[in-house]
Structure 1
Amino acid sequence: MQAHQSTVDDAEVAKFEAMAAEWWDAEGKFKPLHMLNPCRLDYITMQIAGEFDCDLTAPDAFKGLRILDIGCGGGLLSEPMARLGATVVGADAAAGNIPVAQIHAQQSDLKIDYRHTTAEALAEAGEQFDVVLNMEVVEHVASPIAYLTACRQLLKPGGLHICSTLNRNAKSYVVAIVGAEHVMRWLPKGTHEWSKFITPDELYNMLNESGLTPVDRKGFVFNPILWRWSLSAKDLSVNYVTASLKPKT
C-alpha cells in the first residue's frame, strides 16, 4: 500500500500551533472566530438537520450521526456537535491544538475523540462519517483539490460536507488581512495569505472535481454597527460557506 500524500502545509500548521493555548480566550487571537461561531453553527445545524431529518428542539438532535471536524483547533465546533448528541472526531494537523481541545472537553464533561492526524490519513484508514465539517481550512492546505478529495472519501454515500473559506478579491484583502491583521489586530500578521483565498466559483469547481455535489452556498457577513455576523444568500464577497453531498451511488 502506498503511503498517503499529505496536503499539510507545515508553515501554516506552525502558525496555528503557536496560538493553540488561546483557542478558548474569546478576547484573544481567536476573537474573530468566537464572534463568527454562532453564525457558523446556525448554518451547520440547519444543513445537518435538513439533510438527516433531525429535530433541533430535541436535546440529542444529532444522535446516531458520526461527525468529523477536520482542522478542529481547540474544539469550537466539535463541542456543540457533541452536545447535540453526535459522535464526534476532531482532527488537526497541529499537534499543539489537541491537548488544548482535550482538556476543554474534559472540563465541559464531553466525550470527543480528538486526534493529531490529517484528512488523508483518516481516509487511508477507511474512516467513514455522516458529516465532514471543513471550516476555514481549505485556504491553508498545500493542495485544495487533493484535500477535498480526501474529505469526499471520508463521507458515507449520501454524506454531507460543509466547507467555509475566504473569497479572493480586493474587498477580502482589505477586510481579512488589512482590517483583521493590521488595523484591528484580531489576528497575528501573516495568519492569512490572500493568494490562497478561493473564489466561490473556484471552490464549486474543486468540489465537483473531487466527486462531491455542491447544493448550497451562503455568505457570512459582518455588520460593524450591530457588531455581529449574519448569513446572506447574496453577499459572498469575503467569508462564505458551502454545503455539498457525496452521491449515494
Structure 2
Amino acid sequence: MANQSSFSGSTVDEAEIAHFSAMAAEWWSPTGKFRPLHKQNPTRLAFIRENIIAHFGLDEKAQSPFAGMNMLDIGCGGGLICEPMTRMGASMTGADASEVNIGIASTHAKENGLEIDYRATTAESMAEAGEQFDVVLAMEVVEHVSDVPLFIKACTSMVKPGGLMFMSTLNRTMKSWALAIIGAEYILRWLPVGTHQWDKFVTPDELEAAFENTALIMTRKEGMIYNPILDRWSRGADMDINYMVMCERPE
C-alpha cells in the first residue's frame, strides 16, 4: 500500500480541466474538436498493442489478446483509448479529473455494450489507494498537468512489477510551436486556441529524467509523424513534434 504522504500535492490544472470539459460533448465526433486524436488513434494503438504483446508473450493473432489483463488509462477523456483496448480483451479502468469527460465516456461505453470502470479521480488519489495495474496508459496528458514529477511518480507507482507504462506527448521544440500550436490552433483550426501551452511541452530527455527516481526504465521511444497530403499519422524516428514512450518495471 502506498504511503499517502508520498503523493501530497495535486496534478490538476483547473484551467485545463475547464477547457476540456467545455468541449467534452465533441469527444466522439471524428470531425469535431478532437479530430486530431481520432486521426492519431490507430498509430497510438498500434504502438501500444505491438509492445504489450511482445513484452508479455501474447498471441498477436488472437481477437482478444489482452484477456485477463488489468489496465488503467489515466486522463482518459471521452474514452478513445479505453474502448478499443476493452474490445481487445483488457479489463479497463479509465480515470479523468473532469466529471464531464467521465460522464461522456460512461454513456458512450454503455451505448456500445462495453463494461469499463470509469472514475472521476486523479493519478495521485489512485496511487494513495495503492492501486496497481499490468499496464498504465497516459496518452496526451502530461502536457496538461500542473506537476509533472508528481504525475510521473503517481503513475509509475501503479505499475505492477513486470508491467508496462505508455505515454505520448508533445516535444518542446520550435517545430512543435510552429506546427502544433500556430498551425493546428491558429491556421488549420483543428483545435481551439489555447488547447496547448508550448512551455508545458516535455522533451524526451526531460521525460526520461522524470523516470530516473522511479521503479520504471524507459526502453522504447518513437515519433508520431503527420502526413498532410495523406491526412494520416505514422510512426518513425522523428520525435520533434509528437512522440510516444514505453517504460518497463522489472520483476
| Normalised-by-shorter TM-score class | over 0.9
Are 2:183 and 1:176 aligned? no
Q: What's the TM-score, normalizing by structure 1?
A: 0.97
1:54 maps to which residue? 58
Q: Is the 8 A contact 1:166 1:172 kept in 2?
A: yes
Q: Map 1:134-173 to 2 at 5 A.
A: 134-173=138-177
Q: CA-to-partner distance for each residue in 1:94-152, whole Å, 9 max, x for gaps?
A: 11001110111011111000000001111111111000001010111111111001011
CA contact (8 A) 1:4 1:124 kept: no
Secondary structure in structure 1 of the residue aligned to 2:92: strand
Question: In 1, distance between residues paired with 2:64 and 2:233?
Answer: 26
Letter in 2 for 1:37: N
Query: Quick one: which amino acid aligns to residue 249 of structure 2?
Result: K
1:93 aligned residue: 97
Residue in 1 that maps onto 2:248: 245
Contact 1:145 1:210 in 2 (8 A): no
RMSD between aligned residues: 1.1
Query: 1:29 Cα deviation (Å)?
Result: 0.2
Partner Cα separation in structure 1 for residue 226 and residue 121 of structure 2: 32
Deviation at 1:209, TM superposition (A): 2.8
Alignment counterpart, residue 116 of structure 2, candidates 112, 118, 123: 112
Partner of 2:136: 132
Superposed, 1:32-43 pairs within 5 Å as 32-43=36-47
Distance 1:94 1:235 in 2: 32
- How far off is 1:17 after superposition? 0.7
DSSP-derived class of the 1:208 partner: coil
Structure 1 residue 7, shift from structure 2 partner: 1.1
**Structure 2 Cα separation of the partners of residues 141 and 193 of structure 1:** 11
1:236 aligns with 2:221: no
Contact 1:182 1:189 in 2 (8 A): yes
Q: Which amino acid aligns with 2:109?
A: A
Number of aligned residue pairs: give it: 247
> Is 1:22 aligned with 2:26?
yes
Q: What's the secondary structure of 1:115's corresponding residue?
A: strand
Residue aligning to 1:226: 230
**Alpha-carbon deviation of 1:57?**
1.7
Superposed counterparts of 1:176-195, under 5 Å? 176-195=180-199
Shift of 1:13: 1.0
Q: Secondary structure at the match of 2:213?
A: helix
Q: Is the 8 A contact 1:93 1:118 kept in 2?
A: yes
The residue identity in structure 2 corresponding to 1:80 is P
3-state SS, counterpart of residue 96 of structure 1? helix
Percentage of pairs with the same residue: 53
SS at match of 2:212: helix
Letter aligned with residue 99 of structure 1: G
In 2, the alpha carbon distance for the partners of 1:209 and 1:127 equals 20
TM-aligned CA deviation for residue 247 of structure 1: 2.6
Of 79, 82, 100, the match for 1:78: 82
Give, as a single letter, the amino acid of the residue that structure 2 aligns with 1:224. P
Please report how far the alpha carbon of residue 219 of structure 1 lies from its aligned counterpart in structure 2 after TM superposition.
0.2
2:198 and 2:8 map into 1 onto residues whose CA distance is 28
- Contact conserved, 1:149 with 1:211, CA < 8 A, in 2? no
Residue ranges of structure 1 left out of the alignment (5+ in a row): none
Paired amino acid for 2:151: Y
